[in-house]
Amino acid sequence: MEQTIHLPNGVRAVYESAKSNVSYIGLFIHAGSRDERLKRTAGIMHVIEHLIFKKTTRHNYFELMNYIESVGGDMNAYTSKEETCIYISIQNQFLERAFEVLSEIFYHTEFVQEEFEKEREVIIDEINSYKDQPSEQIFDEFEELLFSGHELSHNILGSKESLRKITLADISAEYKRNYVNNRLMVSYVGAVEVKTIKTLLHTYFMEETPASTLQRAEFKQITQNFSKTKNLRTHQMHCMLGSIAPSMYSSKKTAMVLLNNLLGGVSFNSLLNLALREEQGLTYNIESNYVSYADTGVFSIYFGTDNAKLEQCKTTIFGIFKKLTSGEFTAAQLETYKQQLIGQVAMSFDNFSSLMISNAKSYMCYDKVDTYEEVVAKINAVTLETIQELAQELFFTNGISELIYK
């Protein structure tokens, strides 16, 4: 059972006990690429995530990393469209080291021109690596088109052009604006007692910062559905179909998670995998994805196939949606997929690194963390009628957008 902790300076934390020799701790800053102020500096939040490891006012990169890695710990980070996370996994007896380093990074990062210039080239190389992987690049470009004109369209990595325009002053200003106490969530999962975690929080996260008054621009759909084909001279056709989907606060979110899972989730018995791969041999890779944001969401289906099979794949996919909306998909089938999703949820509760991240995001966004029992109850409450309505909205009412690489 998780516990929440509130420090007097505005920092919040969520704690969950787990029988483990390893502690999992993360800092979650409630700001991502959609919160970047200027188009000129697109990608700056990701740049900061790279640079925060390089130097603090007290230690350099090698000292910081060695302090964690010399005892077998692991430190990493990621930037998304709505949050930035820095996290450490470390043996319980060395947990204080993690608090020391994370506190330094959060409060005392120092940005140096030489390090920025090196890391900028690293990120440009990262951008180039995505361009060599059309099955990865297509996801980013699809959202750029779907959210065109809004901050959600920003590629998390930015572009080569925007990275060249970012200055050290830009980086410092963005860091000071977002790395503040009232935008911070600390998440811990492990066997160390909560009273020790509270002591470490009061020791390392009681510094004062200005308060953030960040106001996100709310998303309102301003673009029409699109159909775009790009000639990238790939060996196969890469296709993405999708539409706007429920937000993280929508009453239909759980139903959307279930619908996505039964359509093209991680299991081989998903409807799309069975129809396109197992029954017809049309594709090696077929999947669906659902990403929820604060004020909207994205549902997408991705597949790769030969040029001659593209239309057959699309016809099969639309046929599956017609079955979902016409009553051919039964309540008994839905119950089977509910149990499958519940099993996946149960396993995720035993993945302590994943649990640490999901607890933070839940508390950061909803001010609470659902128990396993509450999650199961929400899944079981989804009706066949809701699944039918969602399928109708996604593929027929809202209309499908399409992006193809060939």
Does the pLDDT of residue 64 top 90, yes or no?
A: yes
For residues 59 and 396, the model is more confident at 59
Task: Identify which of 57, 23, 54, 35 has the alpha carbon closest to the alpha carbon of residue 183.
Answer: 35
Cα separation of 122 and 90, whole Å? 27
What letter would DSSP give residue 275? Answer: I
Q: How confident is the model at residue 137 (pLDDT cuts 50, 70, 90)?
A: very high
- Domains with residue ranges and CATH for the chain: 3-204 (3.30.830.10), 227-405 (3.30.830.10)
Task: Please compute the mean of the pLDDT values over residues 13-17 and round it to a whole number.
Answer: 97
Do 290 and 252 meet the contact criterion of CB atoms below 8 Å apart? Answer: no
Question: What is residue 212's predicted lDDT score, i.e. its pLDDT?
Answer: 82
Cα separation of 163 and 124, whole Å? 8
The letter for the amino acid at 290 is: Y
Render pLDDT for 165-206 as a digit per residue (tens, 0 to 9).
999 999 999 999 999 999 999 999 999 999 999 999 999 999
Do 364 and 103 meet the contact criterion of CB atoms below 8 Å apart? Answer: no
Poorest-confidence range of 11-20, 71-80, 129-138, 212-221?
212-221
Question: In degrees rounded to 5, what are phi and psi of residue 296?
Answer: -170, -175
Beta strands in 231-388 (DSSP E): 237-245, 285-292, 297-305
Do 220 and 369 meet the contact criterion of CB atoms below 8 Å apart? Answer: no
Instruction: Classify 399 as helix, strand or coil.
Output: coil
Question: In degrees rounded to 5, what are phi and psi of residue 298?
Answer: -130, 130
Does the pLDDT of residue 222 top 70, yes or no?
A: no
Render pLDDT for 257-310 as a digit per residue (tens, 0 to 9).
999 999 998 888 899 999 999 999 999 999 999 999 999 999 999 999 999 999
Structural tokens at position 159? 């572009």
Question: What is residue 298's predicted lDDT score, i.e. its pLDDT?
Answer: 96
Poorest-confidence range of 75-84, 210-219, 382-391?
210-219
Q: Which residue has the tokens 């159909």?
A: 227
Does the pLDDT of residue 117 top 80, yes or no?
A: yes
Cα separation of 406 and 235, whole Å? 8
Poorest-confidence range of 76-85, 152-161, 207-216?
207-216
Structural tokens at position 165? 């325009």
Phi-psi region of 10 (alpha: psi -120 to 50; beta: other; left: phi over 0): left
Task: Please compute the mean of the pLDDT values over residues 43-52 and round it to a whole number.
Answer: 96
Question: What is residue 162's predicted lDDT score, i.e. its pLDDT?
Answer: 94
57 CB neighbour count, 10 Å cutoff: 9
Pairing, β 237-245 against β 401-405? antiparallel
Task: List all residues 6 or more positions away from 367 whose beta carbon is below 8 Å from its beta carbon.
Answer: none
Cα separation of 317 and 301, whole Å? 9
Mean pLDDT, rounded, of the chain? 93
Q: What is the helix, strand, coil percentage profile of the chain, to 5?
A: 50, 20, 30
Structural tokens at position 367? 């001010």
Does the pLDDT of residue 223 top 80, yes or no?
A: no
Cα separation of 59 and 101, whole Å? 9
Task: Identify which of 129, 1, 21, 109 has the alpha carbon closest to the alpha carbon of residue 57.
Answer: 109
Share of the chain above pLDDT 90, in %: 86
Q: How many CA atoms lie within 13 A of 173 on its CB side?
A: 9
For residues 312 and 130, the model is more confident at 312
Task: Please compute the mean of the pLDDT values over residues 207-236 and round it to a whole number.
Answer: 85
Rg, C-alpha atoms of the chain:
22
Render pLDDT for 342-390 as a digit per residue (tens, 0 to 9).
999 999 999 999 999 999 999 999 999 999 999 999 999 999 999 999 9
